[in-house]
Each structure stands twice: as C-alpha cells, then as structure tokens.
Amino acid sequence: MKISVLAENHAGSLTRAEHGLSYFIEFEEHRILFDTGQSDLFLENAEKIGLKIENPDYIVLSHGHFDHGNGLEYLDHGNLVCHPGCFVKRFGKNSSRYIGLKNTMEELSAKFNITTSADPWPLGKKILFLGKIPRSTDFESVNTTFILENGNPDFVEDDSAIAMILPDGLFIVTGCGHAGIVNTIEHARKITGVNRISGIMGGFHLKEIDVQTLETVRYLKENNVRHVLPSHCTELPALTAFYSNFGIRQIKTGDVLEF
C-alpha cells in the first residue's frame, strides 16, 4: 500500500502546504483520492511529485469541512463517496465563520456520481468507507467548537474514515478524527471482524495533553499499533505525547509512505 500526501499543514522540500488534508491511496488494484484540501493545491503537489491522479476509482470525502472538500471545485468528474450529512451548513462557534463546503450537493451532482451512505460502504474487496462512526467512549467527541445553521452544537456527525485490510491487520485513514480515534478504530474492528490494528494515519483532532490525548495514546499502545501517523489538525502539545510514546515522524506534503 502506498499513500501520497498531497495537502497537509506542513510543506515538503518541493511542495507547498495549506491548512487541509488530501491523500492519494494506492492499495492493491484500487486508487482512492481521500479528501481534496481547501484549494487546487493537491493537484499542484501531485504534479510536482510526478503522481498521476486522474480517474481514481473513488473520491472519498471524510467530512464536510472546507479544508477537506473545497478542492472538489477543481475536479470535473468522478465517483464521490461521503456521509449524507457532509452538506449541512456549519460555522465556527466563536467567530461565526462559515466552515462548511463551498459547493452544495446539487452543484456537485452536476459533475460527480455521488454516493452518500451512513452505513459502511465497500470501495473494493479489502477497503471500505466506514460510514457513521458511533460515539461510544466517554472521553471523545465530548465538546465542540462548531455550530450548525440553527445554532445547535455541531459534533460533525458526518465524520468518517477509510479502513483497509492488510496482511498484518487494519490500516485506517482519517480526515480529522472528529468522532475520536478510539471510536473510529473500534467501529472499523466491529464492521470488518479484524481485531489487529496495523496503523492509523491522518488528522487526530487532538489539541492538548489532556484526558482524550492520554487515553488515545494508552489505547494505541495497549493494542500494539505499529504505524501511528498523526497529522493535519493534531496540534503540537498533543503531538509531543505521540513523539514521546511512538517516535512519530512529521507528515509533510510530498511524502510518499509505503506499508
């Protein structure tokens, strides 16, 4: 399996960065574009590293935030998979800044074949979109800094991820991890029947060294997760806990990781 980092908060030597996330996943015969960042930067960086990303099997949207899906504007066709809640109007609680997707579902339907599913949805024989992730732990998805158009708290119920079945266990790719990393892994385990976790990569949405961060670290250590690769919205204080416990590397645009 190969994952190329096309949009990310940190820049590589030949590529630019932005606040956002986009990965190109090559797994067996499957080619998946996972998120598109907030601009056309993912296309620019793909060209810079010599990666052809035209005509992926699927474009998967992890959730409906601008920094993960506004890059869809720069694509003209494809099979798009996402949770049906991705297109709600959402805002920052404190700033009232709009943080949802720029394009509506109706606008995107003009050029994409869109599949919305709250249930797990197969992208291939050993790779699937997780659909709605249950919030089961008592330390994840407890607070939120987002609100919906009606003013109610927005816990990003559309947050999802991808799981792949590798020879040494599940490998999970997250966009922001709003549902919680432990919740995401436990859901992937339940729906695949695979208990061993090979790795997890993507945004962990952890900010501080707090209960959620420490419990996440403890869970990953107890489950002997080999590849722990937090990026994007995982902020420096929380990252120090992962550096201390897993010796992680910083993910940058232009990185190509093979597992």
Task: State how far the alpha carbon of 15 is from the alpha carbons of 34, 49, 77, 133, in Å.
Answer: 18, 8, 25, 33
Report the C-alpha gap between 103 and 120 in whole angstroms: 24
What is the distance between the alpha carbons of residues 111 and 113, in angstroms, rounded to a whole number? 7
What are 123-175's pLDDT values in tens digits?
Answer: 999 999 999 999 999 999 999 999 999 999 999 999 999 999 999 999 999 99
Domains of the chain: 2-258 (3.60.15.10)
Report the alpha-carbon distance of residue 46 to residue 24 in Å, rounded. Answer: 9
Rounded to an integer, the average pLDDT of 28-41 is: 98
Residue 168 backbone class (left: φ over 0; alpha: ψ -120 to 50; beta: rest): alpha
pTM comes to 0.96
Q: Residue 147: CA atoms inside 13 Å, Cβ hemisphere, count? A: 10
Cα gap 181→23, rounded to integer Å: 18
What pLDDT digit, counting tens, does each position of 36-71 carry?
A: 999 999 999 999 999 999 999 999 999 999 999 999
**Separation between Cα atoms, residue 174 and residue 202, nearest integer Å:** 5
Q: In the chain, pLDDT over 70 holds for what percent of residues?
A: 100
